Amino acid sequence: MLRYTVLSGFLGSGKTTLLRRTLAAHADGEVAVIVNELAPSGVDAHLIADACAAIVEIAGGCACCDKRPELVDAMRCLLDRHERGRLLSLKHVVIETSGLADPLPIAVAVATDPVLRHHFELSSVVTVVDGLGEPSLGDYPEFNRQVMGADRLLISKTDLATPAQVQALAGRLPGQPGILERTSDAWPTLLDPPRTGGVVRSVQPPDEKAHQHAAGIASMSLNVDRALDWTAFGVWLTMLLHAHGQRVLRIKGVVDAEGLGPISINAVQKVLHRPEHVGSMPKDGRALVVIAHGLQADLVSRSLLAFQQIA
Amino acid sequence: MCVLCADLAGEVHWTERSMQSTTEEETSNEARRRQARFRRVRVVNRILGVYGLSIRQDLSGTQFVVSDAKGAQELARDLDQVWLAADRLAHTTVDPLDRRLLDRLEC
């Protein structure tokens, strides 16, 4: 399976800079890039054209909505070139979204395409946040969705902001955002999948059970103090996504399945990526994070436990 | 495709995939799959019963049959299709957050 990363972030947040650093560290033809620009023509593709195995530019709209067919075509084109041997070393595709794009429909578009879903596996959704000042969560629903939908948040431009500014920004974001320091050699690479407990920690609010945002999106952490019956959990999760899939942005975390061990769960809206075994449970507990619009945390938690009781 | 019933073999749903280790999977894959499917039917029956519906496996053990009390039936290949069939037969959206359902399950 090839893997893909959705690189998101508001306008001017530093997505391309992070991408160039990642490509510089992987200059072996393993990474292809799809660049989505809201403008009819952009410069990002020129900046990275020489550093990656292949580049496809989708300009003049957002890949999360009106340019979604072009995104699917671009992914299929890269797959075709890989299978014909023209991109033989290809292992990873990075989709750099436009600054106003919602990253989750992009991940869903790939995961539900009848061809692509058999060849591509979501690595992670990474969102870059401008360290000099993020747009207000309530004022820009696009930014809100970029933050809430991310597996990993990274704060950029930290050399231009004061440490207090960066710390304050990190405190306003859910989870524990990573810090991108210009002088550091150890930048996180976009290609690392957050498949372990980091998935949970990256979005879990530090001291609240449900973290409510202005746009009505809540991140709730379902703490389960015992191993789950895998059959009942599957029944519950499929039914929840069936009834409320449109309101569920993400479900992610690691569950301790009785007799089977830790299994990672990663759902984007109605689409659930194939659950996988992981080595160990997260250090900070058995938490399943549900990011949804208009669902009550206590009711979701009660429902999960009720289904476990009938197993 | 099944030569007897012309059923097109589809993709294996994630709830049907064995999460056992590879070694265990090799030894008794089919038996485990049937056991898990039997347990799944038992759990789903507890839920659908609240809506006046029931579920059973078809004769081949590859599909589910969702029925209402009047005998109307629908075939479903996996749980996603089960819930869609249940919506149609119950004339409502079967909802895991339905307080009436949770009250019954917690009894």
Q: Model confidence over A221-262: pLDDT tens digits?
A: 787 778 899 999 999 999 999 999 878 877 878 888 888 888
Tokens at A273, concatenated: 């990526």
CB atoms within 10 A of CB A184: 11
Of the candidates A239, A237, A233, the residue with the CA atom closest to the CA atom of residue B87: A239
pLDDT at B60 > cutoff 80: no
Cα A240 to Cα A36, A63, A244, A297, B35: the distances in Å are 32, 27, 6, 13, 24
Distance CA A270, CA A292 (A): 12
Using beta carbons and an 8 Å cutoff, which residues of A are at the interface with B?
230-232, 234-236, 238-240, 242-244, 257, 260, 263, 272, 274-275, 277, 295-296, 299-300, 302-303, 306-307, 309-311
Rounded alpha-carbon distances, angstroms, from residue A284 to A120, A176, A200, A223: 30, 13, 9, 10
Distance in Å, alpha carbon of B18 to nearest chain A alpha carbon: 10
* Cα–Cα distance for residue pair B107/A21, rounded to 1 Å: 57
- A30 neighbors A73 (Cβ within 8 angstroms): no
Residue A230: list chain B partners with CB under 8 A.
Answer: 19
Q: What is the pLDDT at residue B7?
A: 63
> What pLDDT, on a 0 to 100 scale, did the predictor assign at position A185?
57
Q: What number is the ipTM of this complex?
A: 0.87
Q: What is the dihedral of CA A65, A67, A73, A78, to 10 degrees?
A: -100
Report residue A196's pLDDT band, with 50, 70 and 90 as the boundaries: very low
- Per-residue model confidence (pLDDT) at position A38: 76
CA dihedral A87, A88, A91, A95 (to 10 degrees): 10
What does the pLDDT average to over A75-100? 91
Q: How far is A7 from chain B (nearest CA, A)?
A: 27
**Most confident listed range (A178-187, A272-281, B30-39, B44-53):** B44-53
Per the CB < 8 A criterion, the answer to whether A171 and A147 are in contact is no
Is residue B44 predicted with pLDDT exceeding 60? yes
Helix (H/G/I), strand (E/B), else coil: A295:
coil
Closest of A39, A41, A36 to residue A16, by C-alpha = A36
Residue to substitute from A233, A239, A290, interface B, most B β-carbons within 10 A: A239
- pLDDT band, residue A289 (cuts 50/70/90): confident
CB contact under 8 A, B14 and A302: no
Please state, in angstroms and rounded to a whole number, the distance separating the CA atoms of residues A6 and A93. 9
- Residues in chain A closer than 8 A to B79 (CB atoms): 234-235, 238-239
Residue to test with chain B: of A296, A303, A305, most B Cβ within 10 A: A303
Assigned token pair, A239: 């039914």
Nearest to A72 by CA among A25, A21, A122, A116: A116
Which residues does chain B have within 8 Å of residue A244's beta carbon, measured at their own beta carbons? 95, 97
Q: Do B79 and A234 touch (CB under 8 A)?
A: yes
Cα–Cα distance measured from residue B102 to residue B107, given in angstroms and rounded to the nearest whole number: 9
Give the residues across from A264 on adjacent strands.
A254, A276
Nearest to A240 among B46, B96, B99 (CB): B96
pLDDT band at A208 (very low <50, low <70, confident <90, very high): very low
Average pLDDT over residues A174-196: 65
Q: Note whether B83 contacts A243, CB cutoff 8 Å.
A: yes
Contact (CB, 8 A) for A105 and A65: yes
Neighbouring C-beta atoms of residue A44, cutoff 10 Å: 20
Burial pattern A9-42, b for ≥16 Cβ within 10 A else e, equals: bbeebbbbbbbebbbeebeeeebbbbbbbbeeeb
Contact A234 B44 (CB under 8 A): no
Judging contacts by C-beta atoms under 8 Å, the chain B residues touching residue A236 are 96
For residue A84, give Cα distances in angstroms to A42, A50, A55, A89: 29, 22, 17, 11
pLDDT value, residue A76: 95
* Helix axes of A230-244 and B79-90: crossing angle, nearest 10 degrees: 50
Which residues in B lie closer than 8 A to residue A239 (C-beta atoms)?
47, 79, 83, 94-96
Provide the strand spans (E) within A146-247.
152-156, 178-179, 210-212, 217-223
**The two structure tokens encoding residue B40:** 């799944």
Pure H helices in chain B: 22-50, 79-90, 99-105
Span B65-89, mean pLDDT? 94
| Predicted pLDDT of residue A20 | 85
Nearest Cβ partner for B106 among A295, A306, A311: A306
A114 contacts on B by Cβ (under 8 Å)? none
Q: What is the pLDDT of residues A17-30, one digit of tens each?
A: 888 888 888 877 88
pLDDT digits (tens, 9 = 90+) for A156-179: 888 777 888 888 888 878 776 776
| pLDDT > 70 fraction of chain A, expressed in percent and rounded | 81
Chain B residues at the A interface, defined by Cβ less than 8 Å, are 14-15, 17, 19-20, 36, 39-40, 43-44, 46-47, 79-80, 83-84, 93-97, 99, 102, 105-106
The Cα A62–Cα A70 span in angstroms is 10
Are the C-beta atoms of B73 and B67 separated by less than 8 Å?
yes
Tell me, what's the pLDDT at A64?
Answer: 86
Q: How crowded is the C-beta side of B76, counted as CA atoms within 13 Å? A: 25
Maximal CA-CA distance, chain B: 45
Question: Alpha-carbon Rg of chain A, whole angstroms?
Answer: 19
Rounded to whole angstroms, how far apart are CA atoms B42 and A311? 8
Partner residue opposite A310 with nearest CB, options B36, B84, B105: B105
Distance (Å) from the C-alpha of residue B68 to the closest C-alpha of chain A? Answer: 18
Report the alpha-carbon distance of residue A51 to residue B45 in Å, rounded. 56
